[in-house]
Amino acid sequence: MSLQSLTVLDHHYQELRNDGQDVIQGLSATPKTLPPKYFYDDYGSQLFEKICELPEYYPTRTEASILKQYADEIAAITGCCELIELGSGSSTKTQLLLDAYQKIADCCTYLPIDVSGGILKDSVVHLQKKYPDFSIHGLLGTYEQALVHLETNYLQSRMLFFLGSSLGNFTPAECDSFFNQVARTLQPGDYLLLGVDLQKPKDILEAAYNDSQQITDAFNLNMLSHLNWRFHGDFDINLFRHQAIYNEAEHQIEMYLHCQKSHWVNLKSLDLEVFFEVGERILTEISRKFNLVTMQKQLEGKNMKTLKTWTDDQGWFGLILSQVQ
C-alpha cells in the first residue's frame, strides 16, 4: 500500500507518548470513567467487528438494511461530493453508499477516518481495489483531530457521515460541541448523514450489550489490556467483570467494568497509581438511544436542516440526512 493513501493526523497517537491525560482524569474521578475510544486498538476493533455480527446486536444489520434500501436515494439527493466518514472501522456498511455513488459519478473521493491504524490500512487497500476509480485516503486520528484537519483543507462539497450510532457515546454536552465542530467543518450546502439507534424496550437493548457468546465482555475488558500496553500498566483483567445496564431515565446503555477484589493498579508511563475498591465500577461507555424528532430539532439548532429521514419497519434505527443552511 502506498504511504500516500494514509495520513497520520497525530504522529504520537499510536505511540506511548500519547499523553493519556484523559485516562488520568477519568481514573482519578469518582465514580471512575474511561473514554470509549480506548476500546479500539487493533484487537478491540476486531472484537467490535464480531459484535456487529452477533444475533443480539441488531444496530449494524438494521442500519445496513436501511442503507441497502435507500443508498441510491441518498446519492441522488446529494449528488457527487467528497465522502467523509468518521469512525469508519472496516467500512463494511460504507460500501452500500460507495456502490450508490459509483453509479452516479465517474470519480468520487472517500476519506475514512479512524483511530485504529490496522483496520484503516486494511480497508483502504481493500476499497481501493474494489473501487479503482475512487480516490480513497485514510486519516488516522481521533474525530477532533480529523475535524480540525478538514476545517483547513476544504476542497469540494462534502457529505460527512457518522454511522452506527457512534454519536451515542457522547454525553449531551459532548454531542453539542461535536455538532459545533461539524458545523465549522462544513460549508452551506454540505450534508451530514447521521445513523442513530432509537429508543426501544429495555430487554432488547440489554441483550444487545450482554451477548450470550460474551464477545462484548471481551471487548469491554480489552480496554484494560489496551491501557496496559499503551501506558505500561498492570491491570489484571481477571479482577474485573463486564456489566451493561439500560438506564431508562437517561435513555442510555451504560457499560461498566466491575472490580471483584480491592487492589492497586499502576500505569507506569502515566505516573499513576489507582486504588480499586471491591464492588467499585469503571464506566467505560454510554450508548445513548435517541428520538428521531428530538435529534432533528437539535440539528436545526445547529443550522442543519433535515432533508429526509429513514427507519426500518420496526423503527429501531434511524438515518437522518441534513444539510447545512
CA distance 98 to 190: 18
User: Is the distance from CB of 163 to CB of 74 less than 8 angstroms?
Assistant: no
The nearest distance, CB 57 to ligand AVJ, in angstroms, is 7
Q: Which three cell numbers stand for residue 302?
A: 445547529
**Which one of 76-84, 120-128, 164-172, 267-275 is the stretch in contact with ligand AVJ (CB under 6 A)?**
164-172
Q: Cα–Cα distances in Å, from 186 out to 6, 31, 79, 83, 280?
A: 22, 36, 16, 12, 42
- Bridge partners of residue 282, in order along the sequence: 257
The nearest distance, CB 272 to ligand AVJ, in angstroms, is 25
Which of 91, 116, 169, 296 is in the footprint of ligand AVJ by CB under 6 A? 169
Q: Which of the residues 89 through 108 are near ligand AVJ (CB under 6 A)? A: none
The nearest distance, CB 157 to ligand AVJ, in angstroms, is 27
Nearer to ligand AVJ, 37 or 263 (CB): 37
Q: Is the dihedral of CA 214, 43, 232, 31 positive or negative?
A: negative
For position 166 contacting ligand AVJ by CB under 6 A, the verdict is yes
- Bridge partners of residue 195, in order along the sequence: 319
The nearest distance, CB 107 to ligand AVJ, in angstroms, is 30
**Which one of 98-106, 163-171, 232-240, 257-265 is the stretch in contact with ligand AVJ (CB under 6 A)?**
163-171
Q: Which three cell numbers stand for residue 95?
A: 460500501
Nearer to ligand AVJ, 91 or 169 (CB): 169
Coil, strand, or helix at residue 322? Answer: strand
Nearer to ligand AVJ, 169 or 323 (CB): 169
Q: What are phi and psi of 280, to 5 degrees?
A: -70, 150
The nearest distance, CB 164 to ligand AVJ, in angstroms, is 5
The nearest distance, CB 287 to ligand AVJ, in angstroms, is 3
188: cis peptide before it, omega within 30°?
Answer: no
**Which one of 100-108, 141-149, 162-170, 232-240 is the stretch in contact with ligand AVJ (CB under 6 A)?**
162-170
**Which one of 9-17, 116-124, 160-168, 308-316 is the stretch in contact with ligand AVJ (CB under 6 A)?**
160-168
User: Is the distance from CB of 255 to CB of 243 less than 8 angstroms?
Assistant: yes
**Which one of 15-23, 24-32, 166-174, 179-187 is the stretch in contact with ligand AVJ (CB under 6 A)?**
166-174
Contact letters for ligand AVJ, residues 23-62 (x by CB under 6 A): ----------------------------x-------x---
Contacts of 218 (CB under 8 A, 6+ apart): 47
- Residue 89 per-residue DSSP state: T
Strands 252-259 and 240-247 come out as antiparallel
Q: Cα–Cα distances in Å, from 160 out to 78, 109, 147, 192, 233?
A: 11, 12, 10, 5, 36
Nearer to ligand AVJ, 51 or 86 (CB): 51
Q: Which of the residues 176 through 235 are near ligand AVJ (CB under 6 A)? A: 209, 216
Residues that bind ligand AVJ (CB under 6 A): 51, 59, 164-166, 168-169, 209, 216, 285, 287
